[in-house]
Structure 1
Amino acid sequence: MSVSLPIQTRHLPEPRAMLRLIKPITWFPPIWAYLCGSVSAGVPLSDHWGMVLLGMVLAGPIVCGMSQAANDWCDR
């Protein structure tokens, strides 16, 4: 006896829905805090602009945005 299961294709959610879920408005405070820390470190930012940009992306969309999505997931 054989059982055949239909193969389901995986669909990604709409980009607009994903953006709404990670709430870009909440990214401002952690990015601002990271930039304040970068400036107060006393190291010339012009020499390390790539690291500053990477830190902004990590602090805002990655850490804060994804924690917002996880929080909303647990609240449902």
Structure 2
Amino acid sequence: MIEFKVTSDYIPMIQLLKAANLVQTGGEAQIVVTEGEVKYNGQVDYRKRLKVQKGDVVEFRGETIRII
């Protein structure tokens, strides 16, 4: 599990995937989100601009990111 600390109120999903080094580019992040490869709090979520906040859990390709 990756624990990712946000310093503001939220981080957009695409930026989170890049910052956690799970994708190489923002374009790749957009593709995996729109193809339904990302789970947000246990549910597949297709929103590229989703605001991920403290306490949320994101799952992607076997990795779990908990936002702290």
- For the criterion TM > 0.5, the same-fold answer is no
Larger radius of gyration: 1
More helix by share: 1
Question: What TM-score does the superposition give when structure 1 sets the normalisation length?
Answer: 0.23
Question: What TM-score does the superposition give when structure 2 sets the normalisation length?
Answer: 0.25
More strand by share: 2
